[in-house]
Chain A
Amino acid sequence: MLNYFRPKTINECLDYICDDRVYIAGGTDLLVEMKNGHDLSKNTVIDLTHIPELSGVKRENDEIEIMACTTHDNVVLNKDINQCLRALSSACRSVGSPQIRNMGTIGGSVGTASPASDPMPALMLADGRVVLINKKGETREEGLEDFIVKPGVTTLKNDEMILSIKVKSLKEYKQSFFKIGRRKALAIARLNFAMAILKNDDETIKDIKIVIGAALPVTKRFYDIEKMLVGKKLTEDLIEQVSKEISEQVLAIAGPRKSSEYKIPVIKNVVNSMLKEMEV
Chain B
Amino acid sequence: MKIQLNTTINDLLVSVEIEQDARLLDVLRDNLGLLGTKEGCGVGECGACTVIINGKTANSCITLAASMEDCDIKTIEYLSKDGELHPMQESFIDNSALQCGFCTPGFVLSGISLLERNPKATTEEIKEGLSGNICRCTGYEQIIKAVEDVRDKKYNKDGASNE
Within B67-87, which residues are at the interface with A (CB < 8 Å)?
Answer: 67, 69-70
- Residues B21 and A34 in contact, CB atoms below 8 Å apart: yes
- Residues B132 and A185 in contact, CB atoms below 8 Å apart: yes
- Residues A186 and B45 in contact, CB atoms below 8 Å apart: yes
Assuming A31-B62, A99-B47, is B67 touching A186 (CB within 8 A)? Answer: no
Which residue of chain A has its CB nearest to the CB of B25? Answer: A31
Find the residue from A27, A30, A97, A99 having the highest chain B CB count within 10 A.
A99
Taken together as a complex, chains A and B put the C-alpha atoms of A27 and B50 apart, in Å, by 15
Q: Within 8 Å CB of A47, what residues of B? A: 64, 66-67
CB distance from A42 to the nearest CB of B (A): 13
Q: Which of A31, A45, A96, A98 makes the CB contact (< 8 A) with B63?
A: A31
Which residue of chain A has its CB nearest to the CB of B63? Answer: A27
For chain A, the count of residues having a C-beta within 8 Å of the partner chain is 27
Q: Within 8 Å CB of B66, what residues of A? A: 4, 6, 47
Q: Within 8 Å CB of B88, what residues of A? A: none
Q: Within 8 Å CB of B133, what residues of A? A: 97
- Residues A97 and B20 in contact, CB atoms below 8 Å apart: no
- Residues A50 and B21 in contact, CB atoms below 8 Å apart: no
CB distance from B134 to the nearest CB of A (A): 8
* A1-39 contact mask (Cβ, 8 Å, vs B): 1 or 0: 100101000000000000000001001101110110000
Taken together as a complex, chains A and B put the C-alpha atoms of A27 and B21 apart, in Å, by 12
Taken together as a complex, chains A and B put the C-alpha atoms of A99 and B63 apart, in Å, by 11
Assuming A1-B21, A99-B58, is B69 touching A184 (CB within 8 A)? Answer: no
- Residues B58 and A1 in contact, CB atoms below 8 Å apart: no
Within A22-81, which residues are at the interface with B (CB < 8 Å)?
Answer: 24, 27-28, 30-32, 34-35, 40, 45, 47, 49-50, 73
In the complex, whether A180 has a CB less than 8 A from a CB of chain B is no
Q: Within 8 Å CB of A49, what residues of B? A: 67
CB distance from A36 to the nearest CB of B (A): 8
In the complex, whether B1 has a CB less than 8 A from a CB of chain A is yes
Q: Within 8 Å CB of B132, what residues of A? A: 96-100, 185-186
Assuming A32-B44, A102-B57, A103-B62, is B69 touching A97 (CB within 8 A)? Answer: no
Q: Which of B20, B45, B131 makes the CB contact (< 8 A) with A184?
A: B131
CB distance from B56 to the nearest CB of A (A): 4
CB distance from B28 to the nearest CB of A (A): 15
- Residues B67 and A98 in contact, CB atoms below 8 Å apart: no
- Residues B59 and A35 in contact, CB atoms below 8 Å apart: no
Which residue of chain A has its CB nearest to the CB of B47? Answer: A99
Within A177-220, which residues are at the interface with B (CB < 8 Å)?
Answer: 184-186
Q: Within 8 Å CB of B44, what residues of A? A: 28, 31-32, 96, 99-100
Q: Within 8 Å CB of A35, what residues of B? A: 42-43, 62
- Residues B21 and A40 in contact, CB atoms below 8 Å apart: yes
Find the residue from A6, A45, A49, A102 having the highest chain B CB count within 10 A.
A102
In the complex, whether B97 has a CB less than 8 A from a CB of chain A is no
- Residues A98 and B61 in contact, CB atoms below 8 Å apart: no
Q: Within 8 Å CB of B42, what residues of A? A: 35
* A78-92 contact mask (Cβ, 8 Å, vs B): 1 or 0: 000000000000000
Assuming A1-B21, A47-B64, A97-B132, is B58 touching A103 (CB within 8 A)? Answer: yes
- Residues B69 and A50 in contact, CB atoms below 8 Å apart: yes
- Residues B64 and A73 in contact, CB atoms below 8 Å apart: no
Q: Which of B23, B69, B131 makes the CB contact (< 8 A) with A186?
A: B131
Taken together as a complex, chains A and B put the C-alpha atoms of A185 and B128 apart, in Å, by 8
Which residue of chain B has its CB nearest to the CB of A41? Answer: B21
- Residues B43 and A97 in contact, CB atoms below 8 Å apart: no
Nearest 6 CB-CB pairings of A with B: A97-B132, A185-B131, A31-B62, A102-B56, A99-B132, A4-B20
Which residues does A use to contact B, with CB under 8 Å? Answer: 1, 4, 6, 24, 27-28, 30-32, 34-35, 40, 45, 47, 49-50, 73, 96-100, 102-103, 184-186
New A-B pairs, 5, CB < 8 Å, besides A98-B128, A103-B58 = A1-B1, A4-B66, A28-B62, A34-B21, A35-B43
